[in-house]
């Protein structure tokens, strides 16, 4: 969640809390017959006649429709802003001091590592991305290998690529996860006619 969304959350929460506190206190005082002590113009009874007059006007339908659409869009934005993001920005490199800040684009490094994984013997496809999982930065890669692939050799290749990635990123807190999927069938050989 971004700082801007967090700021809107806090502001909205304070405003809603204040309105609810005021309405709750007014309801308690009104029920006890003491509301006129705090608010001298408090009515003895509530009438909905002015509200009925407003809702009977010709502009009410269009205004309420527009207000409903705006509120629905605002609610949708609010929900989308609260979706957890797994995206990771630039990673700060060790050795960055007060005089400057050195960063690396970890996503590009993980994409390059996935390409190297795709060149290992028996690998048909590979992909990778850098993401945040439960507060940890994870280089999440996946490999699809053929059913006859030597898994011991593949595992050694994956270990080598993961070690190279850790050296490139220069950070000990980045974890690597490589999921290996085994294809069900061998690729069909191209038919020659």
64-79: per-residue pLDDT in tens? Answer: 999 999 999 998 998 8
> Is 189 a member of any domain?
no
What integer pLDDT is reported at residue 91 of this predicted model? Answer: 81
Residue 169: the pLDDT is 86
Residue after which a domain boundary falls, among 81, 110, 140: 81
Among 81, 112, 142, where does a domain finish?
Answer: 81
Query: Are both 130 and 76 inside the same structural domain?
Result: no
Residue 96: what pLDDT? 65
CATH number where 145 lies:
3.30.70.1350
Range of the domain at 67: 3-81
- In this structure, the answer to whether residues 12 and 68 fall within a common structural domain is yes
Q: What is the pLDDT of residue 6?
A: 80
Give the separation between CA 154 and CA 179, rounded to whole angstroms: 12
On whether residue 86 sits in a domain, the answer given is no
Is residue 193 situated within a structural domain?
no
| Nearest partner of 124 among 193, 167, 185, judged by Cα | 185
Same domain, 141 and 172: yes
DSSP, residue by residue, the chain: --HHHHHHHHHHHHHHHHHHHHHHHHHHHHHTT-HHHH-TT--SS---HHHHHHHTSTTHHHHHHHHHHHHHHHHHHHHHHTSPP-B--PEEPTT--TT---EE-HHHHHHHHHHHHHTSTTEEEEEEEEEEETTEEEEEEEEEE-TT--HHHHHHHHHHHHHHHHHHHT-SSEEEEEEEEE-SSPPPPPP--
Give pLDDT, residue 190: 47
Question: Is the domain of 139 the same as that of 176?
Answer: yes
Q: How far apart are CA 29 and CA 116, in angstroms?
A: 72
Q: How many domains does the chain have?
A: 2
In a domain, 165, yes or no: yes
pTM tops 0.85: no
Which stretches of the chain drop beneath a pLDDT of 70? Answer: 1-2, 96-100, 188-193
Are 108 and 176 within one domain? yes
Q: Are residues 54 and 120 in the same domain?
A: no
């Amino acid at each position: 969640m971004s700082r801007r969304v967090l700021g809107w959350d806090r502001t909205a929460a304070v405003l809603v809390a204040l309105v609810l506190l005021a309405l709750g206190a007014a309801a308690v005082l009104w029920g006890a017959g003491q509301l006129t002590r705090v608010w001298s113009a408090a009515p003895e009874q509530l009438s909905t006649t002015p509200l009925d007059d407003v809702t009977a006007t010709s502009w009410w339908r269009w205004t309420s429709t527009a207000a409903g659409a705006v509120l629905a869009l605002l609610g949708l934005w609010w929900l989308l802003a609260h979706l957890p993001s797994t995206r990771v920005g630039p990673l700060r490199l060790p050795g960055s001091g007060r005089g400057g800040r050195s960063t690396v684009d970890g996503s590009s490094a993980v994409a390059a590592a996935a390409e190297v994984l795709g060149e290992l013997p028996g690998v048909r496809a590979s992909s990778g991305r850098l993401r945040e999982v439960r507060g940890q930065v994870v280089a999440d890669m996946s490999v699809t290998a053929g059913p006859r692939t030597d898994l011991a050799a593949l595992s050694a290749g994956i270990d080598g690529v993961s070690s190279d990635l850790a050296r490139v990123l220069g950070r000990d807190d980045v974890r690597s996860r490589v999921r290996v999927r085994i294809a069900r069938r061998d690729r069909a050989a191209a038919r020659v006619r």
